[in-house]
A and B are shown apart, each in its own frame.
Chain A
């Protein structure tokens, strides 16, 4: 589904990505983990050419992105969704319009847009919030809107750059569940960047560990799944007392 071949990227003198080879299979949830500054975001951004590689080829959905014209690249990007740590919603557009814009860019008909937006909002459980503005939503809700926007054009691939890193544990579990559903029910291949080991272990089936611009090793794991988080006060007390012993 995604193939990086000898891809490298420097920022002025600094080599952020050093000749990386990586293949991500169709249907995987592939984790990219590593310390801050390891090059995770840069590697992810190379997968939709938000960063242009200095060398090497990037292939997604059977298309070699690095050989496309500007116009073809824009078209290809419509089937590669992306979400971010800080959501990057348009604050002056309603939830509905934030999702609708993705469809407008793809040239969908107005009547189709309405149906598809509501369908996507329903998938992330926000159909009641359509007329609200992002400022009126919680962090988790904003990330759901971003997910709905990324899904609008039925992407084959979803790129996630630390999508849960500014969320609390409860909300993180909710977002991970949504991402898992997208992978299981819609068959979307997911690349998941995170610096949090426990988050990666929950949903990823393969994880590439990054260090200093290189992939140190890629490990196949059995995803642990997402446990419901215990919010009962007696649970907190019990945990505190146990840790004290």
Chain B
């Protein structure tokens, strides 16, 4: 434990960096991934906004982003990040590739949760004169909500994992700290403590997500 106190300031800073990186990823997932996933679903064959072209383009984009080895995606996006933020180095810059993978990751899980909604419920909504917007917010998201929460939980845990390699662009975070101070300086004990912090964090998130999704599921 002594060693933890010795590095207390750095540890807190790295935890803060992880929270920033994961927090921005979560925002991107909800604000952009959720709508993209909803379009992926609605543009499928036989669905309300059936559109082969929009579906194929979105589907391809999501697949391509997700099939990149993440480290290569980060490097590949450096020019784009620089264009957007003026720099490709640091915690803020690290949120760019993280947000992009977050959107692709969560949108796919959103699409899958929405596929679980019985088609008849949407048909009943159409028969009641609901618009597409009303169908999405008053029927689709309500009926799929526990799946959406579980999907977000899975996504957040992946974002934490992705964030651990952001040291390559100076993003910092718990993972980077564990590698630089623990692994590279042969302080195995320190590295173990960092891993324990990550495990606890993931457990907490999974527990919260599972509980919430169970409570809101009335099916």
Contacts and interface: CB of A to CB of B under 8 A. Distances in A.
Which of B121, B128, B129, B134 is packed against the most chain A CB atoms within 10 Å? Answer: B128
B127 A82 contact: yes
B218 interface: yes
B143 A92 contact: yes
A133 B218 contact: yes
Contact of A90 (B131, B143, B217): B143
Contacts of A93: 142
Contacts of B139: 90, 101
Interface size class of B (residues with CB under 8 A): 20 to 34
A135 interface: yes
B118 interface: yes
Interface string A142-166: 0000100100000000010000000
Contacts of B218: 91-92, 133-135
Contacts of B124: 82, 84, 88-89, 146, 149
Interface size class of A (residues with CB under 8 A): 20 to 34
A135 B217 CA distance: 11
Interface in A93-119: 93, 101-102, 104-106
Nearest to A78: B129
A74 interface: yes
Contacts of B128: 77-78, 82, 101-102, 105, 149
B145 interface: yes
Which of B129, B138, B139, B219 is packed against the most chain A CB atoms within 10 Å? Answer: B129
B123 to A, nearest CB: 6
A106 B134 CA distance: 11
B106 to A, nearest CB: 21
A92 B131 contact: no
Interface of A: 48, 50, 73-78, 80, 82, 84, 86, 88-93, 101-102, 104-106, 133-135, 146, 149, 159
Interface of B: 118, 120-121, 123-124, 126-131, 134, 138-139, 142-143, 145, 216-219
9 contacts: A73-B129, A74-B130, A74-B131, A75-B129, A77-B129, A82-B128, A86-B120, A89-B124, A106-B129
Given A84-B124, A88-B121, A91-B121, 6 more contacts: A75-B129, A78-B128, A88-B123, A92-B145, A92-B217, A135-B219
